[in-house]
Chain A
Amino acid sequence: MENRPLEYDYTVAKMFMFMAIVLGIVGMTIGVVLALELAFPGVNTILGSGVAEFTNFSRLRPLHTDAVAYGFTLSGIWATWYYVGQRVLKVSLKESSFLMAVAKLHFWLYVLVVAAVVVSLFAGITTSKEYAEFEWPIDIAVVVVWVLWGVSIFGLIGIRREKALYISVWYYIATFLGVAMLYLFNNMEVPTYFVSGGIGAWYHSVSMYAGTNDALVQWWFGHNAVAFVFTVPIIAMIYYFLPKESGQAVYSYKLSLLAFWGLMFVYLWAGGHHLLYSTVPDWMQTMGSIFSVILILPSWGSAINMLLTMKGEWQQVANSPLIKFMVLASTFYMFSTLEGPIQAIKSVNAIAHFTDWIVGHVHDGVLGWVAFMVIAALYHMAPRVFKREIYSKSLMNAQFWIQTLGVVLYFSSMWIAGITQGMMWRAHDEFGNLAYSFIDTVTVLHPYYTIRAVGGLLYLVGMFMWAYNMYKTATAGRAVEEAELKNASPMGA
């Protein structure tokens, strides 16, 4: 038994891979629609004014953020968990029918939640809290899904053969614990139907917290939802997939260790940077700013560790589009974790807050780092789960360059738009009057909104190329032997 290679079971990984691709395309298509609506407001009624209630910017926006964060990204995280988890713990899901059942239930319940979310957000059923829009019935389902994942993590760990947990597993565990804690506290809400004795909508609730307190809890959550969905599990991915694909050993264990514990400790304090110059106490704001600046280092720690893992391997970077995705992802990770802290400085935030510069920061993180990593991870997994080589390397290469151009257009246009708008809002003219009416500060953005829409469209085109390449890999790629799958993924021309 010990000598025979383990037969891993990728059934659930495959199901989540499928969801990641579908929800990625759905979420980003909505993103492109949103971008077009801001550039050309006529798009709000593109399907006719009869259904504009459901296609206008404000109804669609939460659908975009939730589809990409909790659809695309979470599916990607779980696809990789059900792949990486088995391999680095050296244990197969086949060995436990209980864990297999839990994993399947995890998937199907998740699909149900996704459906419920789509219906409820289209209907305008939302609590308005960013990234926590769901009403309490969905919250409860989310908690069940999350617990199932927890059972899967700790169950697999319980029967593992590899005694020491690999770095990626640290980060998966942290994701699980972090989100659990944040989600529970931020979603404390009182269902009005029961308290009022059966009046009104049964799903409606009212927040446990009011005003400034509500804002504090929300952004303690919001900032760390970013941390524990867009950062921590993505680091889990890169620590596995980059060394594995390149065949290189991780540069420094010490650096991994310090970066991990540093990140865990520092991240949670930084939420105050979403509330600068608001009505929360000054000391909390200052705390948010200070910890944001300190946060640069644990963030950069992981990125540097990965870049140094590729030391001397320029050949691989130049030749493999799969490795290019990951190296550029670390770069964008560094970019957004320097940009964020600088935007967290009070004086800079005075300009940046409420503007498109923040939206730019968001997307150099999510497009350049999160989505690139998910794409790369699933490309690496495809030959292993389908036992076929990746259908087309040149298509992957083209996808890489198109999407890179897309990200660059997105963040640079929003960067300029945000700084311009922030400065126009503040400007006084020679008479001491406001120099601009609000609408002046909107119409100047039109060219940048158009460029952003083009960038987004390019990125979306890349997503379709990815889907096609994955589909062809699964169905038409050349069959490969186990021996070809050690490191660099086999690719067809």
Chain B
Amino acid sequence: MFHWLEKRPFLFAVGVFVTIAFAGLIEILPDFAKASRPVIGTKPYSVLELAGRHVYIKNSCNACHSQLIRPFKAETDRYGHYSLSGEYAYDRPFLWGSKRTGPDLMRVGNYRTTDWHEHHMKNPASVVPGSIMPGYPWMFTNAADIDTAYAEMLTVKNVFNVPYNKPIPTKDGGTVTVKLPDTLDGAKAEALKEAKAVAADMKSKEVKDMVARGEIPEIVALIAYLNSLK
């Protein structure tokens, strides 16, 4: 019968590859050509925020939480303005998620606060009866990894030209500059400064003590990140 191609394994494999690669080209190539540009008000993450993002990823919060508000009235009523492509310009990796066991967090910084997160992350069911989210009490004592966050900032600045130390336009017409310290020690000092501001709104004594000692617990970094989601 007609087994012409199937008797030529090399040609067969090439045929398969071309067939599957074709669609890939169409879907992937435009990607390299056109990266989305940040919208006004979108700024890179600070040291502490980035360390918090790493805590979020380390614990796979994205397994239950999306960060993508779809353009439906019910969604914008619940979470705020629908997502815009440019808002993700500095998200490496993207964290849209694919399952909403818990609510979307794209703009959670707008409608939740440090002290609320503090209660909630320790024991979600104590603030939201019936919550099935696990508590994360160890984050109150585990130290956040500032070194790796700083290494990532250096990397994205050098490789992808992320605009650290440059004025970035804000929604109110002004500008803001996100600092990339010159040295690791500088980065640690910067992170500690940010951490103190967050810890001031918290109640946990162990957290306050740690920050006073110059250490940054994961929870503080995580909350800084959550507060930055707007």
Contact residues of A with B, CB < 8 Å?
A: 37-38, 41, 44-45, 49, 52-53, 56-59, 61-62, 124-130, 154, 157, 163-165, 170, 173-174, 177-178, 181, 185, 190, 192-193, 195-197, 199-201, 204, 206-207, 209-218, 220, 253, 261, 264-265, 267-269, 271-272, 274, 277-280, 284, 350, 353-355, 358-359, 425-428, 433-434, 438-439, 442-443
B71 touching A127 by the CB < 8 A rule?
A: no
| Contact partners of A214 in chain B: CB under 8 A | 88, 91-94
| Contact partners of B16 in chain A: CB under 8 A | 170, 173-174, 177, 264
In the complex, what distance in Å separates the CA atom of A52 from the CA atom of B57?
17
In the complex, what distance in Å separates the CA atom of A200 from the CA atom of B70?
36
A61 touching B71 by the CB < 8 A rule?
A: no
| Contact partners of A126 in chain B: CB under 8 A | 57-58, 60
DSSP class of B's interface residues: helix, strand, loop or mixed?
Answer: helix
Q: Mark B1-39, 1 if CB is under 8 A from A, else 0.
A: 101001101001100110111111011100100011000
Is B199 among interface residues, defined by CB-CB distance under 8 A?
no
15 contacts between A and B (CB under 8 A): A56-B134, A61-B60, A125-B58, A170-B6, A190-B159, A195-B151, A196-B155, A200-B145, A200-B152, A204-B151, A210-B36, A211-B85, A211-B89, A215-B88, A220-B24
Identity of the chain A residue whose Cβ is nearest the Cβ of B137 in the assembled complex:
A49
* Min CB–CB distance A423 → chain B (angstroms): 10
Name the segment of B97-105, B190-198, B207-215, B220-228 touching the other chain: B97-105
- Identify the interface centre among A49, A128, A220, A428: most chain B CB within 10 Å of its CB: A128
A210 touching B89 by the CB < 8 A rule?
A: yes
In the complex, what distance in Å separates the CA atom of A211 from the CA atom of B34?
12
Give the number of residues in B that approach A within 8 Å (Cβ atoms).
85
Contact residues of B with A, CB < 8 Å?
A: 1, 3, 6-7, 9, 12-13, 16-17, 19-24, 26-28, 31, 35-36, 57-64, 66, 68, 70-75, 77-78, 83-85, 87-103, 125, 128-138, 145, 147-152, 154-156, 158-160, 184
In the complex, what distance in Å separates the CA atom of A163 from the CA atom of B3?
9
| Contact partners of B3 in chain A: CB under 8 A | 163-164
A434 touching B74 by the CB < 8 A rule?
A: yes
A215 touching B21 by the CB < 8 A rule?
A: no
A217 touching B28 by the CB < 8 A rule?
A: yes
In the complex, what distance in Å separates the CA atom of A443 from the CA atom of B124?
14
A355 touching B132 by the CB < 8 A rule?
A: no
| Contact partners of A253 in chain B: CB under 8 A | 1
* Min CB–CB distance A436 → chain B (angstroms): 10
| Contact partners of B150 in chain A: CB under 8 A | 196, 199-200
| Contact partners of B138 in chain A: CB under 8 A | 52-53
Q: Pick the contact of A426 from B59, B74, B151 — CB < 8 Å?
A: B74
Known interface pairs A126-B60, A130-B98, A269-B27; A196-B151 also in contact (CB < 8 Å): yes
Q: Pick the contact of A264 from B19, B66, B156 — CB < 8 Å?
A: B19
In the complex, what distance in Å separates the CA atom of A466 from the CA atom of B185?
57
| Contact partners of B147 in chain A: CB under 8 A | 199-201
| Contact partners of B145 in chain A: CB under 8 A | 200-201
A157 touching B9 by the CB < 8 A rule?
A: yes
B156 touching A206 by the CB < 8 A rule?
A: yes
Known interface pairs A164-B7, A165-B9, A199-B147; A354-B99 also in contact (CB < 8 Å): yes
* Min CB–CB distance A345 → chain B (angstroms): 15
In the complex, what distance in Å separates the CA atom of A61 from the CA atom of B31?
30
| Contact partners of A181 in chain B: CB under 8 A | 17, 20-21, 24
Q: Pick the contact of A358 from B64, B98, B132 — CB < 8 Å?
A: B98
Identity of the chain B residue whose Cβ is nearest the Cβ of A56 in the assembled complex:
B134
- Identify the interface centre among B60, B90, B103: most chain A CB within 10 Å of its CB: B60
In the complex, what distance in Å separates the CA atom of A284 from the CA atom of B85?
14
A215 touching B6 by the CB < 8 A rule?
A: no
B154 touching A196 by the CB < 8 A rule?
A: yes
Known interface pairs A428-B74, A438-B78; A213-B35 also in contact (CB < 8 Å): yes
* Min CB–CB distance B1 → chain A (angstroms): 6
* Min CB–CB distance A193 → chain B (angstroms): 6
A434 touching B83 by the CB < 8 A rule?
A: no
8 closest residue pairs by CB, A with B: A211-B88, A200-B148, A268-B23, A200-B151, A124-B58, A196-B151, A354-B100, A279-B85
- Identify the interface centre among A49, A53, A193, A358: most chain B CB within 10 Å of its CB: A53
| Contact partners of A358 in chain B: CB under 8 A | 98-99
A192 touching B154 by the CB < 8 A rule?
A: yes
| Contact partners of A37 in chain B: CB under 8 A | 132, 134
| Contact partners of B93 in chain A: CB under 8 A | 127-129, 206-207, 209, 214, 218
B88 touching A38 by the CB < 8 A rule?
A: no
| Contact partners of B7 in chain A: CB under 8 A | 163-165
B130 touching A277 by the CB < 8 A rule?
A: no
In the complex, what distance in Å separates the CA atom of A442 from the CA atom of B99?
13
In the complex, what distance in Å separates the CA atom of A170 from the CA atom of B7?
11
In the complex, what distance in Å separates the CA atom of A359 from the CA atom of B96?
17
In the complex, what distance in Å separates the CA atom of A56 from the CA atom of B72?
32
| Contact partners of A49 in chain B: CB under 8 A | 137
A58 touching B64 by the CB < 8 A rule?
A: yes
| Contact partners of A438 in chain B: CB under 8 A | 78, 102-103
Identity of the chain A residue whose Cβ is nearest the Cβ of B97 in the assembled complex:
A354
Q: Pick the contact of B151 from A154, A199, A213, A425 — CB < 8 Å?
A: A199
B74 touching A427 by the CB < 8 A rule?
A: yes
In the complex, what distance in Å separates the CA atom of A130 from the CA atom of B62?
9
| Contact partners of A442 in chain B: CB under 8 A | 101-102, 130-132
* Min CB–CB distance B75 → chain A (angstroms): 8
In the complex, what distance in Å separates the CA atom of A165 from the CA atom of B74?
54
Q: Pick the contact of B92 from A45, A210, A278 — CB < 8 Å?
A: A210
Q: Pick the contact of B184 from A164, A174, A199, A212 — CB < 8 Å?
A: A199
- Identify the interface centre among A127, A193, A212, A216: most chain B CB within 10 Å of its CB: A212
